[in-house]
Amino acid sequence: MPIFNPEDWKEKIKYPHWYTEVPGVFKELVQLHAENRAEYERVKEQIYDFFEDQLRKGAVALGQTGKNLDAERKPIDTVVIHHTSMKPGLTKERLSGIDLVRLYAPQYAGKGPTYTAHKEIKDRPVYSGHFRDGVQVFWPYHWIVRTGGICERLLEDSEIGWHAGNWDVNCRSIAIVFDNDYENSEPSDVELAAVASLIKDTYPQVLKENIKGHCEINTKTTCPSKNFLSVDNKHPGWREKLVYLYSNVSRR
């Protein structure tokens, strides 16, 4: 049987507990990654295509009410840097579909690490509490930075993003994601300068020591890049460039 059959899932998503089967699908997908990388990429994109499309159509059974997790928002003292690990041009609709299945579904199925009080959301219909024009969205980030240096707002500062893999950090942080795959490279000077200015202008209370990479919060990931942190004095990471720009840019 295929890992993911869209026709079967059109029926499954009509019911509020559709998400309970998602962890099993991704477990098989991880196994496929080790066996056939090309097929893994095809199935992964098929899953993302499906949920992006079905969310757009309003076909996914979601909760219209639920626990207000944003009530746990704390004063912002940290910025966490991410990258999409995808080609540039990620749309907001695509991002919402991806993180519905990558982040929210495992959490509600009791399989995710971010929110420890699973009993408060487990087995309930998926509910982010974040709506745009009447449509529920599942963005994990507050800002996405395009390759030209344009910073686009996603979540509001009052909204908690499920992004760091640590609930306490989520509650007091802002998530900024670069719209590209920088696993083995680094953002352009234009992008880094844009992020430095964004942090300085919008979150001047954040100390430079609290501009973190996702990998510094969750050691199981290399996001936003294998080159983010310094290896030694001869091989500085691009975090140092970002912090330098942040420390030297003037508020507008």
d(CA 8, CA 214): 35
φ/ψ of 230, rounded to 5, equals -70, 140
Residue 213, CA distances (Å) to 78, 79, 161, 229 in order: 10, 8, 15, 8
Q: Is the pLDDT of residue 238 over 60?
A: yes
Supply the mean pLDDT for the chain.
92
- State the pTM of this model: 0.94
pLDDT digits (tens, 9 = 90+) for 191-229: 999 999 999 999 999 999 999 999 999 999 999 999 999
What pairing do the DSSP bridges indicate for beta strands 151-153 and 143-145? antiparallel
The single residue listed with the structure tokens 């920088």 is: 182
For domain 6-63+75-248, give the CATH superfamily.
Peptidoglycan recognition protein-like (3.40.80.10)
Count of CA atoms in the C-beta half-sphere (13 A) of 42: 8
Three-state DSSP class for 148? Answer: coil
Q: Is the pLDDT of residue 36 over 60?
A: yes
